[in-house]
Amino acid sequence: MEYVTLNNGVQMPKLGLGVFRITDLEQAEEVVYQAIENVGYRLIDTAAAYGNEKAVGAALRKVSVPREDIFVTSKLWITDVQDGYEGAKRGLDRSLMNLGLDYIDLYLIHQPIGDLYGAWKYLSEVYEEGKIRAIGVDNFTQARLAEFIHFNKIKPAVNMIEANVFHQRKEDHQAMEKRDVQMIAWAPFSAGAVGVFTLPELTTIGDKYQKTVGQVILRWFMQRGIVAIPKTVRVERMKENLDIFDFELTEEEMAIINHLDQGGGYSLPETADGFENLLRALGNFSVD
């Protein structure tokens, strides 16, 4: 496993397992158990809104790997962020209880919505007390990130944003690198979008190294210095996705992949109607 060093000196595994949409809790527990115990994952990415923190916690208690060798990320949902300082306290306490942990390695504000400053104030305090080893943000635009850094004492250690070969987020990445904020790519396989695993440019590169398209994509993220958290429920794919540290893409191959970029990526709606629709949709996630 390779690691990145966050801006506060904390080491974070470069490749992890995302557990979004694993809603069957028995399955979620088994997936996380297998990933850590039998495959070698050391980074698990969950969130209050995924509804599976309890299953992640149960798996963490079952594995033989020491807690300090495992890096757990979770996220504070908007229904807590909307209540600022108090909401962050409530949300973090709930995450800690659900996970059954006395500290979380990385805790993120999940969406740039709500009383971000109030929530950040609380997270900053508990970070300084050591209950969270690093705090960060999620889905922040470059401008919002710059504003947040300017007005807060504690700088976010990471910004997690959607990134894949079609939406590479090069400018966002550069802006983060300039400010020493680690980029984490969510949905690095475009959530399994049709066609991503059969792109001819990627199969050709994969054939050269006897690697799959998925491995080529993840390798490309690693060489860009970006943490990636692909999700899979299958042990074989967990192994495949982790087996990317024994080959290196050439500059020419990196450039071929860079050319697949179509721009764009996840962003919040700019119209009032669009934003209200999004808030209604997001509000449906229960975090209890």
Looking at residue 155, what DSSP letter applies?
Answer: P
Looking at residue 38, what DSSP letter applies?
Answer: I
Q: Phi/psi at 255 (nearest 5 deg)?
A: -65, -40
Closest CA to 60 of 30, 90, 87: 30
The single residue listed with the structure tokens 């993840």 is 218
Q: Is the dihedral of CA 122, 128, 134, 136 positive or negative?
A: positive
Q: Which stretch binds ligand NAP (CB under 6 A): 13-21, 112-120, 141-149, 277-285?
A: 13-21
H/E stretch holding 143 reads helix 142-151
Nearer to ligand NAP among residue 101 and residue 187 (C-beta):
187
Residues 100, 58: Cα–Cα separation, whole Å: 8
Q: Does 139 bind ligand NAP (CB under 6 A)?
A: yes
| 17-18 and 3-5 beta bridge pairing | unpaired
Helix (H, G, I), strand (E, B) or coil at 136: strand
Q: Which stretch binds ligand NAP (CB under 6 A): 93-101, 171-179, 225-233, 243-251?
A: 225-233
Task: Point out the catalytic residue in the list 33, 41, 50, 122.
Answer: 50
Nearer to ligand NAP among residue 86 and residue 283 (C-beta):
283
DSSP code per residue over 231-279: --S-HHHHHHHH--SS----HHHHHHHHTT----------SHHHHHHHH
Q: Does 61 bind ligand NAP (CB under 6 A)?
A: no
Q: How far is the CB of 127 from ligand NAP (least distance, A)?
A: 19
Q: Does 216 bind ligand NAP (CB under 6 A)?
A: no
Using CB under 6 A as the binding rule, the residues of this chain from 88 to 127 that contact ligand NAP are: none
Nearer to ligand NAP among residue 202 and residue 251 (C-beta):
202
Note if 117 is an active site residue: no
The single residue listed with the structure tokens 């158990």 is 33
CB neighbours of 152 closer than 8 A, spacing ≥ 6?
Answer: 117, 120, 124
Looking at residue 49, what DSSP letter applies?
Answer: G
Q: Does 156 bind ligand NAP (CB under 6 A)?
A: no
Binding test (CB under 6 A) with ligand NAP, winner from 29, 53, 138, 253: 138
Q: Which stretch binds ligand NAP (CB under 6 A): 95-103, 122-130, 186-194, 245-253?
A: 186-194
Q: Does 85 bind ligand NAP (CB under 6 A)?
A: no
Q: Count residues contacting ligand NAP (CB under 6 A)?
A: 26
Q: How far is the CB of 51 from ligand NAP (least distance, A)?
A: 12
Q: Lay out the site mask for ligand NAP across 15-54 (x = CB under 6 A, - = otherwise).
A: ---xxxx-----------------------x---------
Which residues are the active-site residues?
50
Positions touching ligand NAP (CB under 6 A) are 18-21, 45, 138-139, 160, 186-192, 197, 214, 229-234, 237, 240-241
